[in-house]
Amino acid sequence: MAQTDHPETEDLADIRASVRALCANFPGEYWRKLDRERGYPGEFVTALTTAGFLGALIPEQYGGSGLSIVEAVAIMEEIQACGCNGAACHAQMYTMGTLLRHGSAEQKERWLPAIAAGDLRLQAFGVTEPTSGTDTLALRTTAERKGDHYVVNGQKIWTSRAEHSDLMLLLARTTPREDVMRRTAGLSVFVVDMRLAQGANINVNPIRTMMNHATTEVFFDDLRVPAENLIGEEGEGFRYILSGMNAERILIAAECIGDAKWFIEKATAYAKERTVFGRPIGQNQGVQFPIARAYAQMRAAELMVRDAATRYAAGRDCGPEANMAKLLAADASWAAAEMCLQTHGGFGFAEEFDIERKFRETRLYQVAPISTNLILAYLGEHVLGLPRSY
Ligand SMILES: Cc1cc2nc3c(=O)[nH]c(=O)nc-3n(C[C@H](O)[C@H](O)[C@H](O)COP(=O)(O)OP(=O)(O)OC[C@H]3O[C@@H](n4cnc5c(N)ncnc54)[C@H](O)[C@@H]3O)c2cc1C
């Protein structure tokens, strides 16, 4: 296919080919059935884990593949380009990073090998709350130290995959906002073992959304979390979560590039084959040019994603690039989705073409994990030195 012609190392080409081979076992009808039933793609997630793809970023000493984000980008992009949905499991790749960077040696030994082996899933990431939204520092869930435990009370919303995860990475307030010296202090990160408390001190309610995303709201009622599950230092959790945001943005951006490639390939094939007025519709510039434009937009965004990933892998600062990658890639996938639907005319709306499903799925990335406006605000303030807007 024309859009995968960047020079890449042999390793990346091999990874892409392996991901494609795995994804071939999960065709459109598999995803359509799940979408209809709002089911979780458990077999797909298990297959990815067994093949070692979900443990790509876990170091070899903990049973992972010890690869860099460059390889992780290739994996996530390829999953989407094959028409599958990595949203079912992508969080494990970036939430695990918080544990890896800030967890103790004992914590890493306790959880990482089991995550790499697929015995434990760390798919749930509890940050967003109904009243605070994007303003994370305003979150209200508290974790109060009582002896060798913390007692957690509060509510999270949009905690995706909570019903299909053993562990949750939770951000909660350990010092009241009015008592902290720094605006960003007073929040802490915990690994919560949800298996022990489901139904008693944790209640998880699914939220039905326009796409199949296994997202939920989670209520904590006097949940006891052992103090040994605190990651790093108490009160420094916001900093730890922020340190994982660049990886999250780069990986989601890669998924958007994969989506865009899928839409472009579908539209191109259809425009060549569909004949109306005695000629292929793709012969009309009104049909051809939007496909060409979507392709150019995707390629430009792809360069930014690769730049961000290369910087991240080299340990260089990549905040602006990671944010721009997410912005441009989400725009590229959404533009490609719109173009693909239009190219297919009425058939674009038919379930069996998978386009309406992917269209709904890719729309999310304008809003989550960070909305477009907040990325623009970041660029305005931190890159261009404009006044802080919020
Ligand atoms: C399907 C789905 C899955 C998700 N999964 C998770 C998850 O697993 N874990 C988790 O913690 N969260 C998750 N989220 C939450 C997601 O990260 C938030 O929805 C997102 O960050 C936006 O926050 P909000 O919905 O509260 O919007 P709000 O903060 O209420 O913002 C609403 C709108 O106002 C705009 N806005 C707000 N403030 C400003 C400002 N200062 N300047 C300009 N515009 C502004 C925003 O851009 C947005 O368009 C998920 C969300 C969805 C929909």
Write the CATH number for 373: 1.20.140.10
Same domain, 78 and 157: no
5 within some domain: no
Same domain, 141 and 16: no
Distance 135 CA to ligand 1 centre (A): 9
Same domain, 141 and 274: no
71 CB-side CA count, 13 A: 20
Nearest to 85 by CA among 371, 364, 369, 367: 364
Nearest to 256 by CA among 73, 64, 4, 26: 73
- Hey, which of 127, 213, 367, 375 would you mutate to test ligand 1's pocket, going by the most ligand atoms within 8 Å of its Cβ? 367
pLDDT tens digit sequence for 183-230: 999 999 999 999 977 778 999 999 999 999 999 999 999 999 999 999
Q: Report the atom number in ligand 1 closest to the C-alpha of 207.
A: 1
Q: Are 189 and 147 in contact (CB under 8 A)?
A: no
Distance 330 CA to ligand 1 centre (A): 15
Ligand 1, atom 35, lies closest to the CA of: 373
Q: Looking at residues 64-74, what average pLDDT do you find? A: 97
Q: 262 CB less than 6 Å from ligand 1?
A: no
Ligand 1, atom 3, lies closest to the CA of: 158
Which tokens in the block code for residue 146?
């009582």
- Round to whole Å and give the CA distance between 251 and 89: 12
Distance 220 CA to ligand 1 centre (A): 21
Burial of 209 (C-beta count, 10 Å sphere; 0-12/13-18/19+): middle
pLDDT at 87: 95
pLDDT tens digit sequence for 135-175: 999 999 999 999 999 999 999 999 999 999 999 999 999 99
pLDDT at 198: 72
Which tokens in the block code for residue 269?
């094939």
Nearest to 262 by CA among 316, 298, 224: 298
The yes-or-no verdict on residue 355 having pLDDT over 50 is yes
390 within some domain: no
Same domain, 19 and 59: yes
Q: What is the DSSP letter of 175?
A: S
- Round to whole Å and give the CA distance between 79 and 307: 20
Distance 324 CA to ligand 1 centre (A): 17
Ligand 1, atom 17, lies closest to the CA of: 369
Same domain, 217 and 246: no
Q: 366 CB less than 6 Å from ligand 1?
A: no
Q: Which domain holds residue 283?
A: 239-383
Q: 369 CB less than 6 Å from ligand 1?
A: yes
81 within some domain: yes
Give the percent of the chain with pLDDT over 90.
93
Provide the number of structural domains found in the chain.
3
- Looking up tokens 């380009």 gives 81
89 within some domain: yes
pLDDT tens digit sequence for 230-258: 999 999 999 999 989 999 999 999 999 99
Q: Looking at residues 265-287, what average pLDDT do you find? A: 98
389 within some domain: no
Tell me the pTM: 0.97
Q: Looking at residues 45-52, what average pLDDT do you find? A: 96
- Torsion, Cα 13 51 256 369, to 10 degrees, reads -140
Asked which of 189, 215, 237 is the last residue of a domain, the reply is: 237
Torsions phi, psi for 45 (to 5 deg): -65, -40
Same domain, 21 and 142: no
4 within some domain: no
Q: Where are the alpha helices (DSSP H) in 4-104?
A: 10-23, 28-37, 42-50, 69-81, 90-102
Angle between helices 319-343 and 285-313 (to 10 degrees): 160
Which tokens in the block code for residue 345?
């005319």
Ligand 1, atom 43, lies closest to the CA of: 373
pLDDT at 3: 46
- Round to whole Å and give the CA distance between 310 and 306: 6
pLDDT at 7: 60
Q: Are 231 and 102 in contact (CB under 8 A)?
A: yes
Asked which of 211, 237, 263 is the last residue of a domain, the reply is: 237
Same domain, 233 and 246: no
Distance 61 CA to ligand 1 centre (A): 36
Nearest to 44 by CA among 204, 180, 189, 214: 214
- Hey, which of 94, 132, 134 would you mutate to test ligand 1's pocket, going by the most ligand atoms within 8 Å of its Cβ? 134
pLDDT at 260: 99
The yes-or-no verdict on residue 287 having pLDDT over 60 is yes
Residue 273: Cβ within 10 Å count: 10
Distance 69 CA to ligand 1 centre (A): 25
178 within some domain: yes
Distance 156 CA to ligand 1 centre (A): 13
Distance 123 CA to ligand 1 centre (A): 19
Q: Are 55 and 65 in contact (CB under 8 A)?
A: yes
pLDDT at 92: 86
pLDDT at 243: 84
Same domain, 263 and 134: no
Which tokens in the block code for residue 4?
């995968």
pLDDT tens digit sequence for 297-353: 999 999 999 999 999 999 999 999 999 999 999 999 999 999 999 999 999 999 999
- Torsion, Cα 317 323 324 329, to 10 degrees, reads 130
Same domain, 248 and 350: yes
The yes-or-no verdict on residue 122 having pLDDT over 50 is yes
Torsions phi, psi for 79 (to 5 deg): -55, -45
pLDDT at 6: 56
334 within some domain: yes
Q: What is the DSSP string of 221-252?
A: EEEEEEGGGEESSTTBHHHHHHHHHHHHHHHH
Q: Report the atom number in ligand 1 closest to the C-alpha of 390.
A: 41
Nearest to 26 by CA among 78, 85, 76, 68: 85
**Which helix (DSSP H) or strand (DSSP E) does residue 268 occupy?**
helix 237-273
Q: 370 CB less than 6 Å from ligand 1?
A: yes
The yes-or-no verdict on residue 4 having pLDDT over 70 is no
Ligand 1, atom 7, lies closest to the CA of: 159
Asked which of 202, 237, 272 is the last residue of a domain, the reply is: 237
Same domain, 50 and 126: no
| Cis peptide upstream of residue 369 (ω within 30 degrees of 0) | yes
Same domain, 213 and 274: no
Same domain, 262 and 231: no
Write the CATH number for 66: 1.10.540.10
Write the CATH number for 171: 2.40.110.10
- Round to whole Å and give the CA distance between 123 and 159: 9
Q: 125 CB less than 6 Å from ligand 1?
A: yes
